[in-house]
Amino acid sequence: MRARSQEFLFEMSPSVATPLSSLTVKAGESAVFTCRICGRPRPNVTWTFNNNISVVPDHRTITLLCSPPLLLTDLLAADSVEYTCVANSDIVGVVTRATLTVLNLPDPPSKPDMKTQVGTSVHLEWRPPSTVSCAQKQGNTTLFNEVGLDYWQAGIPYVSSTSKVIGDLSPRAIYKFRVRANNTIGMSEPSITYDFVAIPTESELTENADGNFTTWISTYENDFTELEELERGRFSIVKKTSQNCSGQHFAAKYIKKRGTCKALVETEYNTVQSLQHPGIVRVHDLYETPDHYLLIMQL
């Protein structure tokens, strides 16, 4: 009788000492959800997923007896749901939740195309992989190979657009280019290679030196999604946009091509970009569509 009274005195409601953490894993691999549940007497622990569907142990799902860990094996993209650990006692119940994201490696982007070449810089554009959602894809890595060398170099990693300038290439060299898509678990296979780009010699570069090089990008629909209109003026409209790969929000200033000098838009872009002041909105890129010039600006 004394033992039972002592047990009652020290009875403690269940509590979550260490909650579950969300996980991102590669398809085919395993994931272990762990948490720390306290309580006296020991609470009854169960697992659910996808709005209270009970987790049933099978060849891919293992719940460890008398403790909270949940082991999931041979994961598929369809296993990307919210999992809940429920701890119940005669006093009260507590829950902790976390999301499992199962990703495949992205497919390769399209073969890059050379948009322009100026001096030792090459402007490349490409299309994103068509079979992977932008939620899974986080960027692209451009690669280049100098003909005669047996290795590829990463030009610019984790580019969030489908366009990039690779600069400072070696005069007189010949290069090949390709692109790989990135997400949180790795990189795709390389795209088809763009062959070949010859960089001018030193003497040709000196003869053709012509000052500033402004990059116009033509992949706006691949890179951004319009969200809402912010401001409207006589010659331009400013819209809130979301960058497809990063999810970041930007302001896009749409300037109608009709009646607008392209050189003046370049001048506006270069002028604002050269100014560094907290009161001046930062500009990031210049895009061109069939009907508009676009300045991508800090929101």
H or E element that contains 220: helix 220-223
Q: Are residues 281 and 224 in the same domain?
A: yes
pLDDT (0 to 100) of residue 280: 80
CATH number for the domain spanning 136: value is 2.60.40.10
Q: Are residues 245 and 288 in the same domain?
A: yes
Q: Are residues 50 and 92 in the same domain?
A: yes
Residue at 262: amino acid letter: K
pLDDT (0 to 100) of residue 186: 86
Which of 207, 242, 268 lies at the terminal end of a domain, its last residue? Answer: 207
Q: What is the pLDDT of residues 154-186, one digit of tens each?
A: 987 888 889 988 988 999 999 999 999 988 888
Q: Residue 215: inside a domain, yes or no?
A: no
pLDDT (0 to 100) of residue 68: 67
Please identify every stretch of the chain with a pLDDT value under 50, giving residue numbers as ranges. Answer: 1, 5, 65-66, 134-135
CATH number for the domain spanning 254: value is 3.30.200.20
Structural domain count of the chain: 3
Sort 230 into a burial class: Cβ within 10 Å, 0-12 / 13-18 / 19+: middle
Q: Are residues 7 and 99 in the same domain?
A: yes
What is the widest separation between alpha-carbon atoms in the chain? Answer: 102
Tokens of 142: 């451009």
pLDDT (0 to 100) of residue 1: 45
Q: What is the pLDDT of residues 198-244, one digit of tens each?
A: 998 887 777 655 555 688 999 999 899 999 999 998 889 999 999 98
Q: Are residues 117 and 99 in the same domain?
A: no
Which residues lie closer than 8 Å to 195 by C-beta, 6 or more apart?
A: 176
Would you list the DSSP string of 5-42?
A: HHHHHT-EEEEEEE----EEEETTS-EEE--EEEEESP
Domain that residue 273 falls in: 220-298
Q: Residue 214: inside a domain, yes or no?
A: no
CB 245 within 8 A of CB 160: yes
Q: Residue 140: inside a domain, yes or no?
A: yes
Q: Are residues 267 and 186 in the same domain?
A: no
Strands 93-103 and 23-26: parallel
Q: Are residues 95 and 7 in the same domain?
A: yes
Q: Residue 132: inside a domain, yes or no?
A: yes
pLDDT (0 to 100) of residue 134: 47
Give the C-alpha separation, 254 to 251, whole Å.
10
Q: Are residues 11 and 98 in the same domain?
A: yes
CB 122 within 8 A of CB 166: yes
Which of 153, 175, 207 lies at the terminal end of a domain, its last residue? Answer: 207
Q: Residue 213: inside a domain, yes or no?
A: no
Which of 186, 207, 228 lies at the terminal end of a domain, its last residue? Answer: 207
Q: Are residues 201 and 254 in the same domain?
A: no
Q: Residue 66: inside a domain, yes or no?
A: yes
pLDDT (0 to 100) of residue 225: 92
Which residues lie closer than 8 Å to 29 by C-beta, 6 or more apart?
A: 75
Give the C-alpha separation, 226 to 163, whole Å.
19
Q: Are residues 124 and 178 in the same domain?
A: yes
Q: Tell me, what DSSP letter sits at residue 269?
A: H
Q: Are residues 88 and 174 in the same domain?
A: no
pLDDT (0 to 100) of residue 22: 94
Q: Residue 143: inside a domain, yes or no?
A: yes
pLDDT (0 to 100) of residue 137: 61
Q: For the chain, how big is the Rg over CA atoms in Å?
A: 28
Q: Residue 108: inside a domain, yes or no?
A: no
CB 216 within 8 A of CB 286: yes
Q: Are residues 91 and 117 in the same domain?
A: no
Sort 283 into a burial class: Cβ within 10 Å, 0-12 / 13-18 / 19+: buried
